[in-house]
Amino acid sequence: MCGIAGFIDFQGASSEQDLEDMTHALEHRGPDGFGTFIQVGSNYKIGLGHRRLSILELSELGKQPMTWNQLTIVFNGEIYNFKEIKSDLEKLGHSFLAESDTEMILHAYSEWGEKCLDRFIGMFSFVVYDSKSEEIFIARDRAGVKPLFIYQKNGLFLFASELKAFHKHPQFEKKINPKAVHAYLQYGSVPTPHCIFDYCSKLEPGHFIKTSLNNFKSEPTQYWNVYNYYNKPKLAVSIEEAKLKAENLLKSACEYRMVSDVPVGVFLSGGYDSACVTALLQKDRTEALRTFTISVPDIGLNEAPFAKEVAERLQTNHTETECTAREAIDLIAELPYFYDEPFADSSAIPTTLVSKIAKQHVTVALSADGGDEVFAGYNRYEMILKYGEKLNKIPSFARKGLASVMELVSADSIPVLKNKYNFAQRYEKTKSILRDTSDQNIMLSVSQLFTEQQINKISTQKFETLQTYFDSQELTNHSPLAFAQAMDYQTYLLDDILQKVDRASMSVSLESREPLLDHRLIEYVAQLPDDYKIRNGSKKWLLKEIVHQYIPQSMMDRPKMGFAIPIESWLKNELRDLLETYLSEKKVAETGLFNWGEISRLKHSFLEGRKEYGVKIWYLLSYLMWFERWGK
């Protein structure tokens, strides 16, 4: 895993120093090496930059940018099955200098063109320049594990693993997109393919750009789509067949992600997802896996006893680190630097902490993200199954009539209920769902924090909707559960979970790998019947059945904890000074986007006891801290 950056300048004004500055901005992603490539073409200047985190082929033969014949590449990520592909290429007459997946990509692209992507099992974003044909090829992995940002204006095309690299280019125009700010307030991140700045975007997962530099067109082409697998008819397989097939795919995915020339460990929380990864990897190994857990007992974040019990059962080499609340709080000031697009998921704090601990022992760590999306583990899935059908049985006129009555009665005027935690927010979402019980609207309602009406109050600019994956009409043959899973895979997983893990791990130069996001796994599980995923109220049922073969159910059955952070308490106490500094009339006015009167009201209500406003205050604080660092 590394950091990549570069430019295609059709005005020819970009310099080698510009390229070096952009690339060095990503040093935390790749502290082990640095390289650049610049060439002047017929009507352009191209620059490719790379920061290296050495994982495979530690010698100079793995250095990037790498050139073979007329092809030059910068590559971030891993192709786990590169040895098999390399063998196939050797049979076709290719010869190699080293054991590098980067070198393999160059040969695979020369042999198969963009179709090489269909053969890759891995996480990646890369750029290949063909100096002979004067073409550029840019690609991102299927799930979007590896990021790639793009900037285009006035004949300048920039790309980078993180936005901060763009700030180092003198022609980068930093102009905040108000619609993206509104979307951030809804989702806690800016949804793909959009970006916080105008003229910027994210290359979508499962897409590539291939274009001639003499007739440059940057429209992406899709080569993989998770919806295709949810649209297929459900497989007529027995439970035992499904369990065996899923387990074999899981084993393969986990084993591939152990390929490395440096030490590898596993994040172990004690929950089903990480226990599954650990159990499958330890099963046939004589050497104990390195597993890692953190706890922050003084804030109630303590899965360590459960992780220890699982580790002892599986006989791993387990490291347990206890952190203090102060250590977690001290990280908050660092977050805007590494999360250089507004990001409000507070679990970035413990994710960064556990990454720091793991980095002391290993360079690569396997994480179990994606299990909830692939195998149906979120509480909202059960809620959708439980209440969605009941709501649709109520006549439309009755539902909409009730919503109209609720519109006349504010949440704050309802006795007793108005004092219940988060009642006003639930009241607004209930009205929305009563008006429209479509799968799309239900998912939007459970996914958004600030509503359109609330944003119009808080913003100085009228709310305008950004088109997101929620608007997709590609799902044609789906149940409510399949719709929710597919939406989460394309939205929450991509823009929240994967962004969080990438920035947290890369902040300490740790490579994080995601076996549960192996595309072969989702392609299969998406086609399984819904009741193999949620059965008799048990979420992730199929995955649990696999885990119970290695770890007793009695050891695993407990409430899901997650990386919860007591943000409401911190904002009133330990973070009060930070809150007062940033949620001030002066700082809010500097953004030019927010109505201080409404923010002041929210802040006052929260400090006076309306703790349900805590997450909204955190969203606003996170944005204002980001703006101070990157937006001015």
**Alpha carbon distances (Å) from 257 to 511, 514, 516:** 11, 8, 10
- Is 530 annotated in a binding site? The answer is no
Any residues with CB less than 8 A from the CB of 91 and at least 6 apart, and which? none
Spatial distance between the Cα atoms of 167 and 155, rounded to a whole number of angstroms: 17
Spatial distance between the Cα atoms of 159 and 201, rounded to a whole number of angstroms: 10
Spatial distance between the Cα atoms of 590 and 445, rounded to a whole number of angstroms: 31
* Structure-block tokens of residue 22: 């952009």
Angle between helix 272-282 and 239-256 (nearest 10): 70
- Is 439 annotated in a binding site? The answer is no
Give the active site residue among 2, 200, 276, 323. 2
**Alpha carbon distances (Å) from 128 to 34, 125, 432, 518:** 18, 10, 47, 24
146-151 contact pairs (CB < 8 A, 24+): 146/1, 146/76, 146/77, 146/502, 147/202, 147/499, 147/502, 148/4, 148/76, 148/202, 148/203, 149/195, 149/200, 149/201, 149/202, 149/203, 150/200, 150/201, 150/202, 150/203, 150/218, 151/197, 151/199, 151/200
147-162 burial, b at 16+ Cβ within 10 Å, e below that, comes to bbbbbeeeebbbbbbb
323 by DSSP, 3-state: which?
A: coil
* Structure-block tokens of residue 573: 């106490």
2 part of the active site:
yes
Please work out, in degrees rounded to the nearest 5, the angle formed at the alpha carbon of residue 349 by the alpha carbons of 347 and 353: 120
Spatial distance between the Cα atoms of 119 and 87, rounded to a whole number of angstroms: 13
Spatial distance between the Cα atoms of 386 and 537, rounded to a whole number of angstroms: 9
Which of 331, 355, 308 lies closest to 502, judged by CA? 355
What Rg do the C-alpha atoms of the chain give, in angstroms?
25
What is the 3-state secondary structure of 360-391?
Answer: CCCCEEECCCCHHHHHCCCHHHHHHHHHHHHH
8 A C-beta contact, residue 215 and residue 44: no
Spatial distance between the Cα atoms of 228 and 181, rounded to a whole number of angstroms: 31
Spatial distance between the Cα atoms of 541 and 557, rounded to a whole number of angstroms: 12
Strands 156-160 and 2-9, how do they pair? antiparallel
Residues in the annotated binding site: 101, 294
Residues in the annotated binding site for L-glutamine: 101
Residues in the annotated binding site for ATP: 294
Q: Which residues have a catalytic role annotated?
A: 2
